[in-house]
Amino acid sequence: MATSELRLTAQSSLSPSEMDDVGGLVHEANWNQVAADWRIFLAHGRVYTAHDGTGRIVATTATLPYGGRFAWISMVLVTGSYRRRGLATLLMRRAVDDLTGRDLVPVLDATPDGRAVYRALGFEDSWGFHRLTRGQRPGAPETVPAPAGVTIRALTEQDWRPLTAYDAAAFGAERGGVLEGLRGRLPAAELIAERDGRVAGFLLGRDGRMAAQLGPLLAEDDAIACALLARALAAIDGSLFVDLADAKADVRSFLAARGFTAVRPLTRMIYRASTRFDDAARTYAVVGPEFG
């Protein structure tokens, strides 16, 4: 079937069979997302789909607006039999046009293969991070004390408002709805750091198809970031992903000593710009390439 014969739509809901289709695309690509991740896009953004003549979804792109400033583009997936026909580029262009038409700056996280494609579409490099992975936890849990004057503890409902305010200041836009979509998915990673009664950092996480993922991780300094990570690592036995900013070399060494290895680089890219929106000092690990 030619690309022109496909049905292209922008959707805010997916039927059960369509959810099976997009889950199949994730599985085929060997990505980590689960249905709960797609529900975040549907609740707060938009999923662009291409259906073949049988009604099956064969390609996707998703967008998430943040705070009226910028918006994420991700989940660029095409099933094998429809690749190399320009379908991904077509959906990407539709997403970019829709976002810029709403005065939102498109942002995405690119793999090395995708980076050249996105540069041709007008995206520029901003900063880099690496996906770090760990299999089963090596050895006994290790305790890392928090810095003097800092308390690390589990999140409570009362923490949510100050946490989302802290996050918005560091991320560059409000994203409480997306963070809410992570709650309860990896309870051992839901941690906050406090100093003098104020937020000094926090960590969240989520389940995944292949591994749980830690992130976002925001913190005032490396010591707080490591204390938050150590608390979560001590409580989680299984496989983990962390998408850690390249600038955080000491934290990367901390994770390497605990069994993490780098598997791929990613580049944060901004449409027709390179200046980042977030606070580089406090940004340690991102939610993931799909969410920012």
pLDDT tens-digit readout, 139-198:
777 778 889 999 999 999 999 999 999 999 999 999 999 999 999 999 999 999 999 999
Domain spans of the chain?
3-103, 131-285
Helix extents (H) in the chain:
16-29, 35-44, 87-101, 112-120, 160-171, 176-180, 222-235, 249-256
CA dist 106 → 96, 156, 201, 273, 277 (Å): 6, 33, 27, 10, 12
pLDDT digits (tens, 9 = 90+) for 43-102: 999 999 999 999 999 999 999 999 999 999 999 999 999 998 899 999 999 999 999 999
Report the predicted TM-score, pTM, of the whole model to 2 decimal places: 0.95
Q: According to the model, what pLDDT value does residue 1 have? A: 47
Confidence of residue 5 (pLDDT cuts 50, 70, 90): confident
pLDDT digits (tens, 9 = 90+) for 131-154: 999 988 777 777 788 899 999 999
Please provide the CATH number assigned to the domain covering 131-285: 3.40.630.30
Please identify, in words, the CATH class of the domain defined by 3-103.
alpha beta
Domains 3-103 and 131-285 share a fold: yes
